[in-house]
Structure 1
Amino acid sequence: MKFYQSAIILSAFLSLPYNVRADTLSTAPSRFFYINAGLGAVFSNTTTSNTSNSNSVLYAPTEIGTSLFTLPDINWQNKFKNGYGINLAVGKHFSPNWHGDLEFLYQNIQRETYGTYNWLEQNSTTGATYAQQANNPISKILTRANIYSFMTNASYDLINIGKLQPFFGAGLGLAWLRSNSTQTNNSINIDDPNTPLVETAPAMQNSPSLYGTAFAWQFKAGINYAVSEKGTAILQYRLFKSTDFKANQSSIITNPGTAGQTKFYAGQHDIKGLLTHAVELNLRLDL
C-alpha cells in the first residue's frame, strides 16, 4: 500500500512543473522554429568629421598674372539623428531558455551635413600666398541614411513572472550603408586685410555620398509577454554599433554656370561607424 501511495505522490510531484508552467513562457519546446517581426524608433547622436585639401586650379588673368587657387581644409561633418527601424528574423528554440536566429535589420535615420572650407590664392610661379580666406560655411542640409544589416543572434530567457519573461541577447553580423550626396548653395566672401582683394562669389557645395560594408554587433534586452500558446509580444531595447564606412568624393563649384566656373574636389575618406539605440515592439510566432 505504501508503495502505491509513494508512486502517486511521486507522479503528482513530477507533473507539478508542467502544471505551474502551462501559462508561462518557459515551456518553449526545443524543437520549435519561430519567426519574428517588429518595428521601432531609432535614435542616434553619432557625428563624423573629415578635413582634406582640394585639388589646385590655375586661372588667368588675375591681379598677379596667373594664380593657383586651392580650397584648403575642406571639413565635411555629418550628424546622424532619429529615425525608424524594421526587423525580420527566423530562429529556433534550442532549450527552454536559449534560442538563436538569423535577422535582417533595416534602419532609416536622419543625416545632417554641414562644414567649412578655406580659400587660398597663390602665385603660380613662386607659390607665395597672395590672398586667403578661412571658414567659408557649407550650408546645413538634411537627408536620410539607410543601414541594412544581417545579424546572427543568441538570446537567453530569464525566469518568468506569470506571462512576463525578461531576456537579453547579443549578435554579430554585417552592415551596409547608403546615403546620397546633397547639394547646397552658398557664397565665398573674400576679404583679406593683407590685400586689396574684396570679392563675393556664389558657390555650389556637393557633399560626399556615404556607402560601404562594415562589421556590426548588437545587444538586446527586453520583456516577453505570452499572448497565446504560440504567440509572444516583445518589448525590447537594441544597441547597435558598426565599424567604419566610406565617404565618396565631394566637390565645391565656384561661380557655377558662368564662364568663370571652377570645380574643386576633395577625395574619398573613411567615416567612423554608426552607433544607434532603438526601442522596438516585436511579435514572435512559434511554428
Structure 2
Amino acid sequence: MQTISRLGVVGCGLMGSGIAEVAALGGLDVLVAEGSPEAVRSGRRRVEASLDRGVRRGKITEAARDAAVARLAYTDDLDGMADRQFVIEAVAENREVKTGVFAALDRVVTDPEAVLATNTSSLPVIDLAVSTQRPAQVIGLHFFNPVPVQALVEVIPALTTSPDTVLRTRAFVSEHLGKEIVQASDRSGFVVNALLVPFLLSAVRMVDSGSARAEDIDRGMELGCAHPMGPLRLLDLIGLDTAQAVAESMYEEYKEPLYAPPALLRRMVAAGRLGRKTGQGFYDYTA
C-alpha cells in the first residue's frame, strides 16, 4: 500500500482549514488551494490563528505549531495539486461547485493511484465520482466541526469506490490524522446527519410555533439530556445556510417531511442571519 505523505486540501474555510491543520500537525506535507489570493490570505490566517490558540491552551507546543506551519503551503491555482497523493475537497455544500472541483482535480492530479475525497455532509458521493474518469478512487470523508477537536470522521464509499480505496482511506484517517472512523452507505446524511438533522429542524419548528424560546430549548437539552450544546446554538455554530443546504439535499433524496427546512430557517438564511459567522442567528454574537 502506497505511503501517503503529500496531501491536498481544496477550500480553506471552517472545515478545510481544520483538516489542513490536523494533517500538518500529523506530519504531512499539506498544500491548501483557494479561489483567490485574498481567500488564500484569509485561509492562512484562519489556520495559523487556530494553531496559536492550541499553543495558548496548552494543546500543542510552540515547536509543534512551528513545524506544522512549515509543512503548510497555499495556492490559488488548482494546478498545484498535480503531485498530491490524496486530495480532500472542502468547498461549499453545492453540487455544481463540488462537481466542478472534482472534474478539475481529475485533469490535474497526475498520480494514477491518488485518492480524491469529498467532505460533503449530505450530497451523494456517486454524483462527484462520476464527474471524473477515476470513480474507483473517489470516496466520501465527512469531518465534523471543529475538526481539530472532533474525533470522528465518516468514511463513505460510493457504488464505484474500489475496496483498495476504502482500505487506503481508512488507514490514512486513522494513522495520519488520528481520527476515529464510522463507515456509512452513500445515502444522504450518512449516519450522523441522518439522525441529527431532524432533531435540529424540530428545534427550529418549536421556536417558529412559539412553543418555547431558543434559550429554553437549548437549556432543556443541555441539562435534561446532557447534550454539550443545545440544538439552536449548534445550528448557529454549523451555519444556518449550511444546515438548510444539508436539509434540502436530504429532503430531495427521502421526500420525508422531517427533513424539510422549516419556514423560519429559510427566512433567517434569506435575511443573512446565518449564526456565528455573521454575528447573528438564533443568538446575537455581535457583542
Higher relative contact order (CA 8 A, sep 6+): 1
Give the number of the structure whose alpha-carbon radius of gyration is greater.
1
Structure with greater proportional helix content: 2
Structure with greater proportional strand content: 1
TM interval, short-chain normalised: under 0.3
**TM-score normalized by the length of structure 1:** 0.22
